[in-house]
Homo-oligomer: A and B are copies of this chain.
Amino acid sequence: MTYAGTGVNYDAMDPFKLMAQRAARETAGNITELAGGEFREFEPSRGESVYLIETARSYFAHVEEGLGTKNLVADAMYILTGKSYYDQIAQCAVAMIVNDMVTLGALPLSVAMHLAVGTSDWFKDENRARDLVNGWKNACDLARCTWGGGETPTLKGIVVPETVVLSGSAIGIIKPKECLIAGPIQYGDAIVMVESSGIHANGLTLAREIAGKLSEGYLTKLSDGRTYGETLLDPTYVYVGLVEDCLARRGIDIHYAVNITGHGWRKLMRATQPFTYMIDTLPTQLPIFDFLQQHGPVDDREAYGNFNMGAGFALYVTEASTAEVIHVAKALGLRAFVAGHIENGDKKVVIKPKNLEYAGETLAVR
């Protein structure tokens, strides 16, 4: 099975994204006269996971993100088990937003929820509604930010009844300005990967198709005895504390950071610089990825090119800083490890243990 085969075809979307990015760049001048002229866009953030506006003593940060289709798995599991799982997918949605924000060193101040339903009847299930609210609140606590409002439209004829679109946005801050993760990536830098809790919120469309092929569906057991459905719904790790503690408390110079979501490990070459990203150590393979690869079947190229494969976040630092990053992660309950390093060469990601190479042009995000 392939990701494009599920109807999530980046080849169809990417031209739109590029057209939008070009138009968006033309708006940069609109804020130069605002409030006496102290704001300007931070142009290098265009094409990154978070948009920055520069001021004299800080950067403001803005992220817009969403959960994808993970709530459909929760809906199915709710029917099968009586547990809504909406607390867990709320955390996934918040994590998608704030984990993007911290890639440039910005810390979230406020996260807003956008919950679009197909019919207002969706709200009549108080159990599910309460789980969603509690999960969003707890995720804001984990992300060390406030829950700053939101929007709950009823979109009859647009959102399929009984489902929801769960997304949101965040505003954030980099202060002092030295906390900006601005690179440059350097030859010899270590690539420190940080474990994921599982699939997080990327690749769910493919995972749902696999469920449809299994005789026991989401209740199929993984090698560790847990069900496929409950494992898919493990809440996404929040990496805000990791970045804040590395930057603000330890003063570690992070050269670049990657939230490993859509495009999987291809995201490791998100920076504009033309390096080779050489991976020689893989994270512990989680049972969920063995299962997905076996039952798709999904080959290694497709899997590492679309899933996080057990590594949800990556930090590029000097070799000398790796032990401290790993220590900070451990203090937060996260396992980090040196996965590889930066080499001179064509822009590509090389995963040596799997004999995989992804050329630069396979990641069209800017």
Contacts and interface: CB of A to CB of B under 8 A. Distances in A.
A107 to B, nearest CB: 6
A307 interface: no
A156 B110 contact: no
A8 B140 contact: no
A60 B57 CA distance: 15
Nearest to A24: B147
Interface stretch (A158-166, A225-233, A290-298): A158-166
Copies of this chain, complex-wide, total: 2
B39 A109 contact: yes
Contacts of A205: 154, 156
Interface in A1-40: 6-10, 12-13, 15-17, 19-20, 23-24, 26-28, 30-31, 34-36, 39
Interface string A93-129: 0000000000000010110111010011101100001
A133 B141 CA distance: 36
A141 B7 CA distance: 34
B169 A164 contact: no
B20 A62 contact: no
Given A39-B173, A149-B62, A157 B123 contact: no
Contact of A159 (B31, B36, B158): B158
Contact of A60 (B113, B165, B171): B171
Contacts of A10: 120
A8 B120 contact: yes
Contacts of A157: 69, 72, 160, 163, 208
Determine the interface band of chain A, counting residues with CB < 8 A from chain B. 35 or more
Interface in A47-95: 50-51, 53, 60-66, 68-69, 71-72
Contacts of A155: 68-69, 165
A354 interface: no
A51 B112 CA distance: 9
A66 B21 CA distance: 20
Given A35-B175, A51-B110, A137 B24 contact: yes
Closest 6 CB pairs of A and B: A169-B169, A64-B112, A51-B148, A24-B147, A12-B120, A23-B137
